[in-house]
Structure 1
């Protein structure tokens, strides 16, 4: 099954005794958040920023950067 496919969350895993505490993250996930990819609002180029990088496009010096949308399906429950 592809990683981007939507998976319904289960509640049985959260109630187990060995579950991670709220706010705890794994080491692998923390490393993947060190660098983020954005799209420049002026030139449309891909911009990769690290934690302490200057928020500007290296190609055109544009200061407006948009976060890329997820490729996974996002589903909300309507009430």
Structure 2
């Protein structure tokens, strides 16, 4: 199959990652949690504020210092 694109048998599209996941953000004004999808405007669903903070990962992240 040289020269031809191989399609994923489940989705039918090359390089398709699967269902779109939502990210969870915290509003800087009202501190409410917001679920935002890609390509959706960055605004709080409750107060309309445009500054949102990404939630910290629950797993431990450790870096080696020199």
Shift of 1:43: 0.2
Match of 1:60 among 47, 52, 56: 47
Runs (5+) with no aligned partner, structure 1: 1-26
Cα distance, 1:34 vs. partner?
Answer: 2.3
Structure 1 residue runs of 4+, over 2 Å off?
none
Aligned to 1:13: none
Bigger Cα Rg: 2
Larger helix proportion, structure 1 or 2?
A: 1
The two structures have a TM-score, normalised by structure 2, of 0.69
Structure 2 residue matching 1:38: 3-state secondary structure = strand
Q: Report the counterpart of residue 31 of structure 2 in structure 1.
A: 44
Unaligned runs of 5+ in 2: 1-16
When normalised by structure 1's length, the TM-score is 0.58
Aligned residue pairs total: 52
RMSD value, Cα: 2.1
Return the structure number with greater relative CO, CA threshold 8 A, min gap 6.
Answer: 1
